[in-house]
Structure 1
């Protein structure tokens, strides 16, 4: 029997597993997927997360695979409104790293398997979780067979549809937003290089981020008439996205080069508690926030970094520090949720005088060096 069972073999669960294995804690990671998914939405790794990832020796490997974004540009109607540099946000990592989540997971999985080849179990679907006092028991389905897996501690990092959260009956604070987006990855036909670009168009923001392999991600805020407001963007395709990018930014995108297309809506789900006896929730299982701003994955890694030092004492029967962990991480999740709300609000449709006022305000703030640095630090989760 392992000392810790981690539910979820995504980036947060794998990172926590590596942290604990380095500390000599035996770990079993249960992952429902039988193989990594080739496409993913998450691409941004913020400086505090890179610092955290350096604790398990993978930060530089990730940097070599990704694209460091050192500058963001705000544009409107072909004119530059503002420039935000990340040069002063971190001494070691003065950038936001752009790297698709499947590549990040691959590096993390290699690290875990290097520490313990048998720690990760794929094809395990969790159906229940119970605290039995002296230990916790996970109920799971493996190859259509039922299995019960016990451990002194179970940590759930199984994402926004967390089976563990539902089994624990964790109370949630919920909020749904009207914002809907369509994003896709295409061959990079721009001259932006490694810069991120935000186009503050009247019909809604268009975001553009560099990706490895001379590719670029485009994210378009959809209007209320686009496909009836469905989250999954049914009926919209790469051609629609390319046309909207051209209409709102003037930039031509080759629809035929599309390699990933995904629609999404926005909601916030924050648990009121992360700790339930011998069960603990971290990452998206504990806090789902808007993808706009790219803070979700980094937030989960910072949960794991804060929790890992407490685990040996928890296994020994001490709960010292656990209440402070929960309080601090819920506070940071709330802060990230508020920042994502600001990011979304800045990209909503505006026309006429209101559009000019918003864009003028952004230009004015960016022109003040101290304000520009503060915004850069907030954007990069400092």
Structure 2
């Protein structure tokens, strides 16, 4: 028996667990992976998310471990065409924090373990859900040979099991999806040259190249490509970066390679009886702009006090309905922002590139507009 079962032990599920455990809630987190993935994956943590993470006493450790990106520049044809400062976006966190997801998850898991060393159960894949209106029962099979299955009854079930959420399917919640004509390859390399602690967008005619600093002197490069690609090798990705930007990362320093074609999927509702979807299970957003993980943390921050009140016997039906509507609206805003980001980076003919560059320069040179855009890019 637990007060709350959370399915999914990624960054969103672990964060919600920490919030609830701090309030004395009995939590069981079921994670099917036996081990954490060690790729850098999601790296950007925005100011509103840092403020939320501070409620779980993990923000300071993350800031200490990460790189503070306090601004960015836009470059085209080897010339800077615009710049942006994040100084005005937050009083406490005037930056976007760059931190590998493996470190983010490690710090969150450490916090959960401090609060309850038995809360996280690895190697458990939920296969069945039953909601009788008062309690939710889940059955989970072991994902390792010889492991035992489990059956847990709880007052609430929270699904934080990612974009291909099995829980969403088991709960019978429909979702709408969009695909985009955008494809990317990316990799992490040792940083070189100038702007080592800035985000740099290379707005080139063949498509955007994005570059972000990472801890340990590394730098992520994201290159838009014309068609879906298999995961490139480090030499080919370095060649692509050099061809468009004039900068050649050293293939020998590569630590991660990936390719992806963005899509978005938004559940038609995030609440079903005593079950709630959060994070990518409720709303998958294109990773261009780095909003998805942050959006999930903000889901959890809003949901946690509602769950606590429900466990205390307070009526929360209307609050859950309003929560679902607000988070769906927040997902729509994030999806719109990601689509703007992708549009900005699509290939253009030379005359249109020049027009885009002039528009970027105009916004950059107008302080009020610059501040507004900075707030939009940092999920304010």
1:140 matched to 2:136:
no
SS in 2 for 1:39: coil
Q: TM-score, normalised by structure 1?
A: 0.96
- Residue number among 322, 325, 335 corresponding to 1:324 in the alignment: 322
Q: CA deviation at 1:97?
A: 0.0
C-alpha distance in structure 2 between counterparts of 1:135 and 1:40, whole Å: 38
**1:277-310: per-residue Cα shift (whole Å, max 9, x none)?**
0110000000000000000011000000000001
Output the CA distance in 2 between the equivalents of 1:279 and 1:27: 14
Gaps of 5+ in 2: none
1:57 aligns with 2:54: no
- List per-residue Cα deviations over 1:177-217 (Å, max 9, x = no partner): 11110010001112112101000011110000000011100
Query: Would you say how many aligned residue pairs link Structure 1 and Structure 2?
Result: 375
SS at match of 1:183: strand
Unaligned runs of 5+ residues in structure 1 are none
- Once the two structures are TM-superposed, the CA of residue 238 in structure 1 deviates from its matched residue by 1.2
1:189 and 2:192 aligned: yes
Counterparts of 1:364 and 1:169 in 2: how far apart (Å)? Answer: 48
For 1:23, the equivalent position in structure 2 comes to 23
Write the distance in 1 (CA, Å) between the matches of 2:379 and 2:15: 19
Deviations 1:37-94 (A, max 9, x none): 1114200000000000110111111000000000111000110010000000000000
Q: In the alignment, is residue 149 of structure 1 matched against residue 137 of structure 2?
A: no
Partner of 1:333: 331
Aligned twin of 1:47: 47
Alignment map for 1:179-258 (pairs within 5 Å):
179-224=182-227, 229-230=228-229, 233-234=230-231, 236-258=232-254
Q: CA deviation at 1:146?
A: 3.8
Q: Distance in 1 between matches of 2:40 and 2:80?
A: 30
> For 1:126-172, what per-residue CA distance to the aligned partner results, in whole angstroms no more than 9, with x for missing partners?
22222122211212111454432221110011111111011111111
**Equivalent residues in 2 for 1:371-382 (5 A)?**
371-382=369-380
For the 8 Å contact 1:130–1:168, the answer to whether it is kept is no
2:130 & 2:247 partners in 1: Cα distance?
54
1:302 pairs with 298, 301, 310, which one?
A: 298
**Local SS of the residue matching 1:213:** helix
Residue aligning to 2:359:
361
Whole-angstrom CA distance in 2 between matches of 1:57 and 1:260:
29
Give the CA RMSD over aligned residues.
1.1
C-alpha distance in 2, partners of 1:180/1:354?
A: 21
SS in 1 for 2:130: strand
How far apart are the structure 1 equivalents of 2:124 and 2:163? 17
Query: Following TM superposition, by how much is the alpha carbon of 1:317 offset from its aligned partner in structure 2, in angstroms?
Result: 5.9
Structure 2 length as normaliser, TM-score?
Answer: 0.97
SS of residue matched to 1:182: strand
